[in-house]
Chain A
Amino acid sequence: MFDFLEPLFFALFALGIIGAGACVVVLRRITAQALLMALTFASMAGMFLLLGAETIALFQVLIYVGAITILILFGVMFTKQDDRPYGLFFQEQTPWAAALTLVIALPVAFLALSFKDPTTASAKGGDLIPLAASLFRDYTFPFEVASVLLLAALVGAIVLVKRDEQ
């Protein structure tokens, strides 16, 4: 009865991802761009929900919509943003670029739409327990390496922005 809901929500999220993503590239108001990037990330979380990966969707909201957007907004606030013309937009080689892009994009689109769904039903819902088992049992060492990477990034960011004090 509610079979139409899944394609409907897919269309909604796809519109959010592609529309907001294109606006991030094209717009020239930096704060609006950052917030539209957050909208892209939120729509992506909806895509993950449609795919049945609830835990990944939760991480997406926490890390991307929350942390990374706030970090980018701080970066916007700490630097002076001035309006400048587009770097390479709308020059005379645009038709050639469009033709070349079409040549590359058509095979990619064909390839993307040629994937066939498996005949067996995919696992529905509840991916927290299998994900946790896989992450903490089979991939414990990469998990620990990831924590070291985060520590290195934390220390590196502080060292980079620390002012020299005589």
Chain B
Amino acid sequence: MTVPLGAFIAVSAALFFIGAAGVLVRRNAVVILMCVELMLNASNLALVAFSRRAGELGAGNPLDQRGSVFVVFVFVVAAAEVAVGLAIILAAYRNRPTVNVDEIHDLKG
């Protein structure tokens, strides 16, 4: 017996909600970055699951790889995002030594 497609999608949705809750609830900028990575990874799981299990429904080609190609680009964007995000956190930390996003409000009018 194989695991149904819906089970993978359910795990993906659960991880996405966990990540979204973390982004909304936590106040540590580094933890917020971690939770964003969790959300990106959850979307990757959904993309790969649809690509591998339902890909042949679309193009009629069992080797249809569009979902996996998209996941590769998500990897690239995630790597760029975490590098620039940590650089921004460090630059803000140099101005005001805290990573608590409630205390970084210099742009507030």
Question: Chain A interface (Cβ within 8 Å of chain B)?
Answer: 3-4, 6-7, 10, 14, 17-18, 21-22, 24-25, 30, 33-34, 37, 40-41, 44, 47-48, 50-53, 55-56, 59-60, 63-64, 67-68, 71-72, 74-76, 78-82, 84, 86-89, 105, 108-109, 112-118, 120, 122-123, 127, 130-131, 133-135, 138-139, 142, 146, 149-150, 152-154, 156-158, 160-161
Contact = CB atoms under 8 A, between A and B. Distances in A.
For the complex of A and B, 3 pairs with smallest distance between CB atoms: A153-B80, A25-B22, A160-B87
A75 B21 contact: no
A136 to B, nearest CB: 10
B82 A68 contact: yes
Given A87-B102, A146-B73, A68 B79 contact: yes
Contacts of A6: 1-3
Interface of B: 1-15, 17-19, 21-22, 24-28, 30-31, 33-35, 37-38, 41, 44-45, 48-49, 51-57, 62-63, 65-66, 68-69, 71-73, 75-84, 86-91, 93, 97-100, 102
Most buried by B among A18, A87, A112: A112
14 contacts: A10-B7, A17-B14, A21-B14, A33-B31, A41-B41, A56-B48, A59-B75, A67-B79, A71-B86, A112-B6, A117-B53, A131-B72, A134-B69, A156-B84
Contacts of A118: 53-54, 56-57
B5 to A, nearest CB: 5
A157 B87 contact: yes
What does DSSP make chain B's interface, helix, strand, loop or mixed?
helix
A156 B87 contact: yes
Contacts of A41: 41
B33 A72 contact: yes
A115 B9 contact: yes
Contact of A154 (B14, B52, B83): B83
